[in-house]
Amino acid sequence: MDTIQVKDKTFRISIPESKIQERVKAIANKINQDYAGKNPVFLSVLNGSFIFTADLLRQVNLPCEICFVKLASYQGVNSSGSIRELIGLNVDVTNRHVIIVEDIVDTGLTMAHMLDNLMKQNPSSIDICALLVKPGKLQVKLDIRYCCLEIPNDFIVGYGLDYDGYGRNTKDIYTLV
Ligand code: IMP
């Protein structure tokens, strides 16, 4: 399907499944090389990264742990800027190598907030692994070591990302028309 309707808005396909899967595999391969022997903890940020996390982690062949946190900053099609923690971290990351798995970095405020909180627990290292980054919208300086794709400042849905709770369940990614 070239266009989909999600609630009151129309979205057009912008990143096909084949491209997403190719990039996810490439990033997983890099992580496999960089983290060999490091026993990392993957910290997946719900809800948007649930599909990305599942695909990425099936390509990661290292001994590792995976846990989930749930944050919310977006309302409708805009970042609210204030981040609420809905499910907290239940793993001790002290002296561990942490890889944050995020669906999309927009303003970067969510990642900055997570990094601040995680640093307090003295992990050995923290890297960010993002499916998508909107470089044109970043409001904070972030070092994103692993990024599958950079995209323009448009609002997107699909492959885990939502518009107002809907549109997460597609294999491709769609951009607001
Ligand atoms: P940030 O804090 O502004 O970087 O926003 C990060 C969060 O906003 C992501 O984890 C997404 O949940 C959400 N988000 C940002 N851009 C989009 C988008 O284009 N579509 C859907 N959700 C988005």
CA dist 52 → 77, 116, 146, 161, 176 (Å): 20, 23, 13, 10, 20
Task: Say whether pTM exceeds 0.85.
Answer: yes
Domain count, the chain: 1
The answer on pLDDT for 80 being more than 90 is: no
Domain that holds residue 111: 3-176
Which atom of ligand 1 is the closest one to the Cα of 161? Answer: 21
106 has catalytic annotation: yes
Which atom of ligand 1 is the closest one to the Cα of 83? Answer: 2
To test the pocket of ligand 1, the residue of 73, 106, 133 to mutate (highest count of ligand atoms within 8 Å of its CB) is 106
Mean pLDDT for 150-155 is 97
Query: Which residue bears the tokens 């990143």?
Result: 15
Q: What is the CATH number for 168?
A: 3.40.50.2020
Number of Cβ within a 10 Å radius of residue 47? 18
CA–CA gap between residue 56 and residue 42 (Å, rounded): 10
The catalytic position among 106, 143, 154, 172 is 106
How far does the chain reach from its first CA to its final CA, in angstroms?
A: 14
Give 154-175 pLDDT, tens digit per residue.
999 999 999 999 999 999 999 9
Give 6-48 pLDDT, tens digit per residue.
999 999 999 999 999 999 999 999 999 999 999 999 999 999 9
Reported residue count of the chain is 177
CA–CA gap between residue 176 and residue 147 (Å, rounded): 22
Query: 55 CA to middle of ligand 1, Å?
Result: 19
Mean pLDDT for 41-62 is 97
